[in-house]
Chains A and B, each alone.
Chain A
Amino acid sequence: MEAGLTTDMLQFLFMGIQRGAIYAMVAMGFNMIYNATGIINFAQGEFVVLGGLMMVSMTMALNLSLVFAFLLSVVFVTVVGILMERLTINPVRRPTVLRLIIITIAVSILLKGAAMCFWGKGSHYMRHFTDAPPLEIMGAYILPQTLWIIGMLALVVIGYVAFFNYTMTGKCMRACAINRDAARLAGINDRRMVMLSFALSAAIGAIAGIIITPIIQMDYARGALLGLKGFGAAVMGGLGNSMGAVVAGLLLGIIEAGSGGYISSHYMDAIALVIMLGVLFVRPGGLFGSSEMVRLKEF
């Protein structure tokens, strides 16, 4: 009985980490654009879907090798992100928040529609990255794909920290996030940084979509819910704080998997959203945010 309980909990933990890693990466994507522009990109979930579907076509239809397909898919979605910024965000001068929200919603409708026209309405199967059988740990099973997801999240986080702390471009982006006018005075091309933030955010979204597709079987309509939960993670971690987002994303995934197992699998999706609303109502600065930061931001 006791052993069964720990096994169950371990199983939910693995499932939670697998989901949570995706939410964490979507949240990082939200944060990147938010830091550079103050915009919440409602098309963030669509980047994930596009990455996953592109990967399906590359590996299953074109039979490309995993690494090559992976790179091509990420590049493709990155280009979509850059185009989005150049064509719809960059030309707008002195926009209102409402207008920006609706513009990113319009882009998400377009991307979703394009995905539906191109890949159809069904869900798409994709091989797992490795063919190995699930590993058994204390009676619970973990898929090799979950290990890929954890590894990929670790790589993305390391890459993120390295980029923003040790490269000139990363430091410039941070400067823009802190004070855009001051950064411009220091000779930083802030508009290019905005474009870069869309590119990086799209790339992270694509990676998330690629690694989760073998498990959830991607279809064109998944973007909205993935985006919403990713936003939930971003808010929990404190909007703009990407390391907070990683912790919050994993936490959200684990809570979700646990509640799916112990409460009801039908309401599992709703629980993550209820948590998101709860955080928004009670601590809009995030679980780790200080109250001082909250006052500086516009909620």
Chain B
Amino acid sequence: MVVRDIIGFCILIALVLVMPHAVGNDYYIGVLIFAAFNCLACIGLSLLMGYAGQISLGHGAFIAIGAYASGLLTTKLGWSPWTAMAAGAFAAMGIAFIVGIPTLRLKGHYLAMATLGFASIIHIVAVAATNLTGGPAGVLNIPRLSLFGYRLDSDIRFYYFAWAAVVIGLYLAFNLIHSRVGRGLRAIHGSEDAAGAAGINTAAYKVQVFVVSAAYASVSGSLYAYYVNYIDPGPFDVMHSVLLVTMVAVGGLHHIWGAVVGALLLSLLPEMLSFTAGYLQVIGIQYRPDYDILVYGGILLVIMLFLPEGLFAGMIAGGKSVWNLVKRVIRGKQVVRE
């Protein structure tokens, strides 16, 4: 790992430890837990989009597979939550493998539409297969997780657990990036033909990273099921897949930290907006939560038009220019002293 990434990890872990004390309210802890689920899914998606350069508008489907596998195996067959989660991840990886082989032969727009179609099919099945999934009524009474004998039954316990999962997921992702596979993926992103000519099995690499990213999404879905204890098809619609891509794109496609930044920012956005709504009311603007989606689309559009590298790259560039300014100011003073 690079020094910069180690610094990033330290900042992330410090934030995770400080945040509960800073917000101190169960509702906001819950919001942060949902942010962790999104983070985990986005890290996987970022491996696929940012490093392999392949778009997927279908990752909501893998989240659904993880959530439903966990929900159904624990409630109907009485499996332990951990085995159910593993089974869900393997199911998602298997499906990603089967779907990925023909899908990843497509490129660009075709790939986007094919994955969107796949997500839509999974959502329709989740609604229509009432015998299996409970249909729109969903699955009730999903058990909570236990870790080393501790039941994760309070929000704060689940909070630490969920973010620990994010940190571990992030660590594994960095390992992958700095491996032979990671270098191969970046070569594919640069030019698929050139990568192929250099002896990289491009088709196999793309499917592999698709499978890995599906596993991330599936685990995130399982954690969601264990936290909420109830699932229905609603949150796993096509729009959710689109939102995940949005998070990765807003944060920045070319770095995994971008996915973390984007997922955090956009997950917390509704809360920030309802917070500012109070101030807007003072100056006479009635803000309704319905407008959230407009702000969301607006942010995505503005970032794509003016900062296509994403917020994270923008933050780095901004930080560098501020640092340079500071250095210049300090040097300026030195000159004066001399």
Which residues does A use to contact B, with CB under 8 Å?
39-40, 42, 88, 91-92, 97-99, 101-103, 105-110, 112-114, 116-117, 224-225, 228, 231-232, 235, 264, 266-267, 269-270, 273-274, 276-277, 280-281, 284, 298-299
Interface class of chain B by DSSP: helix
A-B pairs, top 7 by smallest CB distance, nearest first, are: A109-B297, A113-B293, A266-B128, A110-B297, A106-B301, A40-B109, A97-B108
* Residues on the B chain within 8 Å of A110, using CB: 294, 297-298, 301
Interface positions of B from 74 to 130, Cβ below 8 Å from A: 102-103, 105-110, 112-114, 116-118, 120-121, 124-125, 127-128
| B121 A109 Cβ-Cβ under 8 A | no
Question: Known contacts being A105-B246, A277-B118, A299-B107, is A91 close to B112, with CB within 8 Å?
Answer: no
Per-position 1/0 for B224-257, Cβ under 8 A of A: 0000000000000011001001100100010000
Give A196 to B273 CA distance when docked, in angstroms.
Answer: 37
Q: Is B291 an interface residue (CB 8 A)?
A: yes
Question: Known contacts being A105-B242, A228-B116, is A270 close to B125, with CB within 8 Å?
Answer: yes
* Residues on the A chain within 8 Å of B102, using CB: 281
Separation in Å of the B189 CB from the closest CB of chain A? 10
* Residues on the B chain within 8 Å of A108, using CB: 297
Residue from the list B105, B116, B253, B300 in contact with A106, Cβ < 8 A: B300
Give A196 to B102 CA distance when docked, in angstroms.
Answer: 35
Separation in Å of the B130 CB from the closest CB of chain A? 8
Which chain B residue lies CB-closest to A111? Answer: B297
* Residues on the A chain within 8 Å of B120, using CB: 224-225, 228, 269-270, 273
| A284 B110 Cβ-Cβ under 8 A | yes
| A91 B128 Cβ-Cβ under 8 A | no
Which residues does B use to contact A, with CB under 8 Å?
49, 53, 55, 102-103, 105-110, 112-114, 116-118, 120-121, 124-125, 127-128, 238-239, 242, 245-246, 249, 253, 288, 290-291, 293-294, 296-298, 300-301, 304-305, 308
* Residues on the B chain within 8 Å of A270, using CB: 120-121, 124-125, 128
Question: Known contacts being A225-B120, A267-B128, is A107 close to B297, with CB within 8 Å?
Answer: yes
Separation in Å of the B318 CB from the closest CB of chain A? 21
| B117 A273 Cβ-Cβ under 8 A | yes
| A114 B301 Cβ-Cβ under 8 A | no
Residue from the list B107, B117, B127, B239 in contact with A276, Cβ < 8 A: B117
| A99 B308 Cβ-Cβ under 8 A | yes
> A109, A224, A266, A299 — which one has the most chain B CB atoms within 10 A of its CB?
A109
| B128 A109 Cβ-Cβ under 8 A | no
* Residues on the A chain within 8 Å of B108, using CB: 97-98, 101, 298-299
Separation in Å of the B16 CB from the closest CB of chain A? 29
| B304 A102 Cβ-Cβ under 8 A | yes
Which chain A residue lies CB-closest to B113? Answer: A231
Which chain A residue lies CB-closest to B118? Answer: A277
| A98 B253 Cβ-Cβ under 8 A | yes
Residue from the list A224, A267, A276 in contact with B238, Cβ < 8 A: A224
* Residues on the A chain within 8 Å of B118, using CB: 277
| A91 B290 Cβ-Cβ under 8 A | no
* Residues on the B chain within 8 Å of A117, using CB: 288, 290-291, 294
Give A266 to B129 CA distance when docked, in angstroms.
Answer: 8
A sample of 30 inter-chain contacts (CB < 8 A) reads A39-B109, A40-B109, A40-B112, A42-B112, A97-B109, A98-B49, A98-B108, A102-B246, A102-B249, A102-B300, A103-B301, A105-B245, A105-B300, A109-B293, A110-B297, A113-B296, A232-B117, A235-B113, A264-B128, A266-B128, A267-B124, A273-B120, A274-B121, A276-B117, A277-B121, A280-B114, A281-B102, A298-B108, A299-B105, A299-B106
* Residues on the A chain within 8 Å of B238, using CB: 224
